[in-house]
Amino acid sequence: MSDSRVLLITGASTGIGAETARHAVRDGWRVVLAARSEDKLEALASELGGEEHASHKRADVTEWEDQQALVAHALEAFGQVDAVFANAGFGAKRGFLEESPEQWRSMVLTNVLGPALSIRAALPHFKERGSGHFVLTSSVAGRRALPGSLYAATKHAVGAIGEGLRQEIADTAIKVTLIEPGMVDTPFFDNPVQGALEPEDIARAVMYSLDQPDRVDVNEILIRPINQPI
């Protein structure tokens, strides 16, 4: 197992993050799981085979100290980080008279500052190693404006972060991939949704991007459920 690659995942306790962790371990990766729900992280790490395969640490992605501690934890646990899946995020009702300003603030910090801090925390290690891979969860909503959607604005920002990073490190072997899901049946929604993708569909897309040869940098994967018109 010591030769296995290491994937750090934020927002790993449920949904896309948890399913990606399962696929990664199945494919021979070791994983470092991060989220705010420590009990869920513990359960998932145990499911994945314990500390030999999956380490975990509670982290709030909006806190710089937590992000630094998370990378340090990964290096202590496994000695390296090969890829970071900056997946933590959540949404809001559409409408600029909906939700509360406090909910907006939390969403913007999580969805925008969160991945930026994940990049900042891991990039020195990647540069030192001369390789690495950032995978960022954006959305179909990051491709177009939606009526009254501040969430869409945050995902536009993730796209800009990813492309800005790609250009900054274009002279290195570090890769950047944006994953842009359409509707996915995850805890993101309060109620089950019909005709949606499953978390495993997105996990497969993430693993596809990670498993490419060194010469291939998959920049974007836009993935919708069949019959989703926009």
Which of 71, 151, 177, 182 is the catalytic position?
Answer: 151
Spatial distance between the Cα atoms of 168 and 176, rounded to a whole number of angstroms: 11
* The dihedral sign for the CA sequence 141, 147, 151, 153: positive
User: Each residue of 146-179: b (16+ CB within 10 Å) or e?
Assistant: beebbbbbbbbbbbebbeebbeebeeeebbbbbb
Spatial distance between the Cα atoms of 140 and 222, rounded to a whole number of angstroms: 7
Spatial distance between the Cα atoms of 59 and 118, rounded to a whole number of angstroms: 11
The phi and psi torsions of 8 (rounded to 5 degrees) equal: -95, 130
DSSP conformation class of 26: H
Structure tokens at 212: 């490419």
- Ramachandran region, residue 132 (left: φ > 0; alpha: ψ -120 to 50; beta: rest): left
Residue 208 among the catalytic residues: no
| Distinct helix (H) and strand (E) counts, the chain | 7, 7
Residues 6+ apart with CB under 8 A from 217: 166, 175, 176, 177
Catalytically active residues are 151
